[in-house]
Amino acid sequence: MLKIGTRCYELVRAHSGFFLELDPAMQPEPMQQWRLEAHFVSSPANALLPVEDDVEYLRLTVTADRYRISDWRELTGLGLEAKDDDEEDSRTFYGEGILEYMLGPEREPLDEPPAFPLIVGDMEVKRKEGYLFSCEFDATVKFDDGRREELSLEAELPFAGVSMDVPINGNAVAIALARARREIGPMEIADGRVIAHDWRLKERPEAWVDSTRRVLLRTPWW
């Protein structure tokens, strides 16, 4: 469940989870980029406004650029973990949190979904079973008009997938799976697929990469 102020939202499980991108574009060195992406909808059961009001559909994303683990089963909080009382809290979080209104009162017709930054507090993530994790954190949403709303999340989210570029020669899915297992430990996949390059990138030769293919590996809990 997601709570913003006094309003509650239910998790859309089919599109939510923890995702890992290996060597994301525009990064100068090999790295892991972990992302929490969770989708939520309002419902008549928890709405404080009349049920005939527009449905709200929100996307919450927290991306961590310098959070790195050697085993996906040790996923703990994207670098936002609470420190022990006797340990100096000198951490710096390299990443961002964003709340987007895909549908709802903040969305203007025909415009891009408005995105509002989050000030994210400590995040607690614990493995439950298989690829499923429980996740809790609090945050503050900063709206463009100066308003601030307190946000809290408590949900069960799967480790849903890994994406990366692999050489164009060979079995792309097998190469990607071997690298994923080498970097983040033993894992199963329910589906592996090659993502086609965006043909529009050919208009920008400096961005066009024809020596690699993008592969997405989806875990059994997606």
Is 187 a domain residue? no
192 vs 86, higher pLDDT: 192
Q: Total structural domains in the chain? A: 1
Is 22 a domain residue? yes
pLDDT at residue 80 above 50? yes
Are 99 and 140 contacting, i.e. CB atoms less than 8 angstroms apart?
A: no
What are 182's two structure tokens?
């080498």
Are 196 and 174 contacting, i.e. CB atoms less than 8 angstroms apart?
A: no
The long-range contacts involving 82-88, CB below 8 angstroms and separated by at least 24 positions, are 82/122, 82/124
Where residue 169 falls among pLDDT bands split at 50, 70, 90? confident
pLDDT at position 25 = 64
Q: Containing domain of residue 130, as a range?
A: 2-159
Is 91 a domain residue? yes
Is 59 a domain residue? yes
Is 89 a domain residue? yes
pLDDT at position 94 = 82
Is 129 a domain residue? yes
Half-sphere exposure of 60 (CA within 13 A, CB side): 32
What are 103's two structure tokens?
């549908």
The closest of 32, 28, 125, 42 to 77, measured between CA atoms, is 125
Are 11 and 3 contacting, i.e. CB atoms less than 8 angstroms apart?
A: no
Q: What is the pLDDT of residues 130-149, one digit of tens each?
A: 999 999 999 999 998 888 99
Is 95 a domain residue? yes
Is 43 a domain residue? yes
Q: pTM higher than 0.75 for the full model?
A: yes
Q: What is the mean pLDDT of residues 112-126?
A: 92
